[in-house]
Chains A and B, each alone.
Chain A
């Protein structure tokens, strides 16, 4: 999951970025509206966190400009004033959710997960495709009710694939959405992760959850079945 974080207050920006990275997100941080606009247009993000009070270009203008530039990823706005006027205006201009400062980081993480999930068409926090269930809240994966032990990167890869279940996800997409900018893109780490995931999820090789589309990428092949339990 690649996140754009636009916040002018350096300490808050750095702590948030550190926390998000620790949780397995790829984070690009910008310190003002113009930088945010540049990154927001150039990088395929999965979500943007934008503070409303920004120098050079206000958060409200940034949200509007990103939407006008055709960016569809969910946007969460941070507001210090927390007045309804701000919230309504922000949401009207294209934001999808808001948080009033100061907030619990856990709250922010929960909102991010929900927004990303919603953006890829999942309404419930548990993504279910046949026997494979991924709980975005608990960050656990189970196959036929049995928990599968995954590393954080494996989890992120699977989450990304399952969020886009049925769609073709290119290697470039996966790398960009999961790794930091400085990650070595030419390595075959991704193939290794996919191989390990296949083994962990489908040791007998009967489910074949992840399909390789030769020369183009991967596809999560088991169709979505919305989970009943929450």
Chain B
């Protein structure tokens, strides 16, 4: 590795070596899903936060209330001996947890002269934060102790004794945090669960809606490909208002494309007509003229060449090949029948028997005119050379890894056939195999041009059945 390529970061190297392919923009579905996903996340987040905050506040209030209730219960169950001012906690605590050491629910009563009473659960625990409160004064709050965070409620009372004396007492109930936190956590968990289920459901619903609203677009795409393959002429379905602008434009485009090609072809036909008739006049005049007319042979020769050029160029220009939006599916059988009937009429004297072997449903994806020229020229050639038999085969040729099979078209006869070393010459433009038989020698050139336009392949060999020539064309499915 040389110094130039030894760049420190492999990522940098990757970007310098290969230009990045242009990135395809996100699909509409992805855009919508992303957008709703973000909005939903923000919305549900705020909702969740608010709900959990409210819930925490409520939980705190509930806690305070509960603790107050415990304090009230203690106060109402407490006994104070009048004489001595000795204080007793109630025999049965308001909650069994007060009697269980370490249960997390504690009650402590303090008073003057180090008076201190504790529920069995609170024995040996340190509630150093507790201070004597004035009567009527109350305190609530979380406090951090060695036992962890405690929520406590303390209430100061002045306990009246019988001899008009009263003693100040402070009753405190405390509960460890884990209880309330547990409750909070549980609420939060269920909150998160329900909110995220809601989110997922909304996104799924959104995707479904999107699918539904994008269906017409998918329909346009499938119909377009049908038009392209010649199964349909136009986009015929009804489309929602938003798409009609687009589909109508597309239909207009298809129409103008077709119209333009028809016009083009007609112009060419007119041109050919107007060129060929004068050529025919020159030729017949010269042929009538005497042998010793000056330049007769030369002019006739040039006329023949011009004529061949016109015929060839006309046929070539009319060969349209497979064009997008203008192809149709042309059935073979029907046209083959027409052509053979025509040729049988013309070659009636020869008594040629022409057989077909055409796979059912074989169609040609392209211009009808191209198919007629292709088959017409091959068949005419065969009729010309055949002694008595011609065979036309059209067959599907399944191709590995491709959905649509290729088409194989062959025309064979029982004529003299073409020697292998002559094949190339026969396929050359304008070369006639035999001057005696009528024809401009351009038939095969036209066939070759059409085959090329359809990216097909033309082979010439010997008919295995009849021994004559076999012209075979393989047309890819497109």
Are A and B interaction partners? yes
Chain A residues with CB under 8 Å of chain B are 9, 11-12, 15-16, 18-19, 53, 80-85, 87-88, 91-92, 96-107, 114, 118, 123-124
Contact A123 B349 (CB under 8 A): yes
From B5-13, B110-118, B337-345, the one touching the partner chain is: B337-345
B372 touches A88 (CB 8 A): yes
Contact A114 B280 (CB under 8 A): no
- Check: B87 CB closer than 8 A to any chain A CB: no
Q: How far is the CB of B262 from chain A (nearest CB, A)?
A: 13
Residues in chain A near residue B280, CB distance under 8 A: 9, 12, 101-103
Q: Which chain B positions have C-beta within 8 A of A99?
A: 438
A19 to B342 CA separation, bound complex (whole angstroms): 28
Count A-B contacts at CB 8 Å: 99
| A102: nearest chain-B partner, CB-CB | B280
The reply on B387 being an interface residue by CB < 8 A is no
Smallest CB–CB gap between B338 and chain A, Å? Answer: 5
> Given A11-B285, A102-B303, A118-B349, 10 more contacts at CB 8 Å?
A11-B281, A15-B288, A19-B287, A83-B369, A83-B373, A91-B341, A96-B345, A100-B311, A102-B276, A105-B284
Shortest beta-carbon contacts, A-B, top 6 = A84-B376, A102-B280, A84-B372, A91-B342, A80-B273, A11-B281
Residue interface bits B265-298, CB-to-A below 8 A is 1, else 0:
0000100110011011111110110000000000
Interface centre among B303, B339, B345, B440 (most CB of A within 10 A): B345
Cα distance A80–B318 in the bound complex, in angstroms:
14
Assembled-state Cα–Cα distance A99/B438 (Å): 9
A92–B377 Cα distance when bound, in Å, is 18
25 A-B residue pairings within 8 Å (CB atoms): A9-B280, A12-B281, A15-B285, A15-B288, A19-B287, A80-B273, A81-B273, A82-B311, A82-B314, A83-B269, A83-B372, A83-B373, A84-B369, A84-B375, A84-B376, A87-B376, A91-B346, A96-B346, A100-B311, A100-B440, A101-B280, A102-B282, A105-B284, A123-B348, A123-B349
- Bound-state CA distance A33–B169 (Å) is 134
Query: Among A80, A92, A100, A105, which residue has its beta carbon within 8 angstroms of that of B342?
Result: A92
* Contact of B307 with A by CB under 8 A: yes
Q: Interface of B with A (CB < 8 Å)?
A: 269, 272-273, 276-277, 279-285, 287-288, 303, 307, 311, 314-315, 318, 338-339, 341-342, 345-346, 348-349, 351, 368-369, 372-373, 375-377, 438, 440
Q: Which of A81, A103, A106 has the most B CB atoms < 10 Å from its CB?
A: A81
Query: What residue in chain A is nearest B279 (Cβ atoms)?
Result: A102
Is the beta-carbon distance between A92 and B338 smaller than 8 angstroms?
A: yes
Is A12 touching B276 in the complex (CB atoms < 8 A)?
no
Which residues of A have CB within 8 Å of B287? 19, 104-106
How far, in whole Å, are A88 and B338 apart by their CA atoms in the complex? 7
* B277→A81 contact, CB < 8 A: no
Query: Could you say which residues of chain B place their CB within 8 Å of the CB of A84?
Result: 339, 369, 372-373, 375-377
A88's contact among B279, B303, B311, B342, by CB below 8 Å, is which?
A: B342
Q: Do B345 and A19 touch across chains, with their CB atoms under 8 A apart?
A: no
Query: What is the chain A residue whose CB lies nearest that of B268?
Result: A81
Q: Which of B279, B281, B375 has the most CB of A within 10 A?
A: B281
A118 to B348, CA, bound (A): 8
Query: Per DSSP, are chain B's interface residues mostly helix, strand or loop, or mixed?
Result: helix
Q: Which of B272, B277, B372, B438 contacts A85 (CB 8 A)?
A: B372
Determine which of A12, A83, A87, A91 lies in contact with B284 in the assembled complex, contact meaning CB atoms within 8 Å: A12
CA distance A207 to B463 in the complex (A): 50
Distance in angstroms from B45 CB to nearest chain A CB is 71
Query: What separation, in Å, do the CA atoms of A91 and B341 have in the docked complex?
Result: 9
B438, A15: Cβ atoms closer than 8 Å: no
* Cα–Cα distance between A227 and B375 once the two chains are bound (Å): 34
Q: Known interface pairs A91-B346, A96-B346, A118-B349. Does A102 touch B372 (Cβ–Cβ under 8 Å)?
A: no
List the B residue with the shortest CB-CB distance to A19. B288
Pick the most buried of A82, A92, A105: most chain B CB atoms within 10 A of its CB. A82
Residue of B nearest to A91 (CB): B342
Q: Report the bound CA distance from A9 to B275 in whole Å.
A: 12
Q: For B377, what are the chain A residues with a Cβ–Cβ distance below 8 Å?
A: 84
Q: How far is the CA of A70 from the CA of B49 in the complex (A)?
A: 98
Whether A101 contacts B276 in the complex (CB less than 8 A), given A15-B288, A16-B284, A88-B342, comes out as yes
In the complex with contacts A15-B285, A85-B372, A92-B342, A101-B269 CB distance below 8 A: no
Does the CB pair B279–A101 fall under 8 Å? yes
Bound Cα distance from A18 to B288, whole angstroms: 9
- Contact in complex: A81, B314 (CB < 8 Å): yes
Contact flag A97-B346 (CB < 8 Å), given A88-B376, A123-B351 = yes
